[in-house]
Amino acid sequence: MLPDNYQMPEKAAIFELRERASRFIAYTFPIQTEEEGKQKLNELKKEHYAAVHHCWAYILEPDRALQKSSDDREPAGSAGKPILRAILASGLTNCMVVVVRYFGGKLLGVPGLIAAYGGSAESSIQLAGTCERRVFAVYQMELPFERHHEVIRLFKQFNIRFQPLAYDNWQGLNFELKPSLESSFLAKLGELDLPPVECIRNEK
């Protein structure tokens, strides 16, 4: 089941770290799809064409089900995983972090890379801030006017948002269901023996 709400970055943010002559420039972006993430990465590769590495990670979906990362030729586990851990620790989703590295000529070793990539990612995420998004489905139904009060009573019982839509001899209603209430409310609604409801869109 999806959560009723989630946190994502409020805005894009940049943080730069210098470590033993190398520059680590961390970018945090709010994204909605993998395609949007690929576009952001390609834009940064064009902007920082002289950089040695463009390491990244992202988490998508309200339940954080989609998680990916890349070391981009850095030693395995030294870049993408630390960036991903920084996103996980923040509690955010629909979040992408790209860390661009300009090599300064001195090797940092795997522990040094982990600290640089993870630390710059964490600082960039903090600068991006957070905003909350609701998850819900919008349903539509029609019912006779004389059955209107039964449904309104049920809406109030479950604290559900609704919008009346008046027709000739029928009452139309649009209402929002968050994931935690969807199955129980629809089961109760089914007990009233009314015309079927239709899910017209999902918001997340």
Q: Are residues 107 and 23 in the same domain?
A: yes
- Structure confidence at residue 167 (pLDDT): 60
Of 92, 118, 133, the domain-final residue = 133
State the CATH number of the domain containing residue 12.
3.30.230.30
Report phi then psi at 104, rounded to 5. -100, 5
Tell me how far CA of residue 121 lies from CA of 26, 100, 107, 139, in angstroms: 6, 10, 20, 40
Instruction: Answer whether 29's CB lies under 8 Å from 96's CB.
Output: yes
Q: Are residues 41 and 87 in the same domain?
A: yes
- Structure confidence at residue 159 (pLDDT): 94
- Structure confidence at residue 132 (pLDDT): 97
Q: Are residues 152 and 183 in the same domain?
A: yes
Q: Are residues 156 and 117 in the same domain?
A: no
Q: What 3 state SS string does the chain have?
A: CCCCEEEEECCCEEEEEEECCEEEEEEEEECCCHHHHHHHHHHHHHHCCCCCEEEEEEEECCCCCEEEEECCCCCCCCCHHHHHHHHHHHCCCCEEEEEEEECCCCCCHHHHHHHHHHHHHHHHHHHHCEEEEECEEEEEEEEEHHHHHHHHHHHHHHCCCEEEEECCCEEEEEEEECHHHHHHHHHHHHCCCCCCCEEEEEEC
- Written as one letter, the residue type at 120 is S
Q: Are residues 118 and 26 in the same domain?
A: yes
Q: Are residues 42 and 85 in the same domain?
A: yes
Give the tokens for residue 148: 């209107």
Of 106, 133, 160, the domain-final residue = 133
State the CATH number of the domain containing residue 173.
3.30.70.120
Q: Are residues 46 and 69 in the same domain?
A: yes
> Tens digit of pLDDT per residue, the chain (204 long)?
899 999 999 999 999 999 998 999 999 999 999 999 999 999 999 999 999 999 999 999 999 999 999 999 999 999 999 999 999 999 999 999 999 999 988 889 999 999 999 999 999 999 999 999 999 999 999 888 888 888 989 999 999 998 877 665 567 889 999 999 999 999 999 999 888 899 999 998
Range of the domain at 101: 5-133
Q: Are residues 102 and 39 in the same domain?
A: yes
**Rounded to 5°, angle at Cα 101 from 100 and 107:** 155
- Structure confidence at residue 169 (pLDDT): 59
Instruction: Answer whether 122's CB lies under 8 Å from 91's CB.
Output: no
Tell me how far CA of residue 20 lies from CA of 99, 104, 106, 115, 195, in angstroms: 16, 7, 6, 13, 69
- Structure confidence at residue 168 (pLDDT): 59
Q: How many domains does the chain have?
A: 2
Q: Are residues 71 and 161 in the same domain?
A: no
Q: Are residues 182 and 126 in the same domain?
A: no
Q: Are residues 154 and 195 in the same domain?
A: yes
Bridge-partner residues for 172, per DSSP? Answer: 142, 165
Of 99, 133, 167, the domain-final residue = 133
Q: Are residues 81 and 113 in the same domain?
A: yes
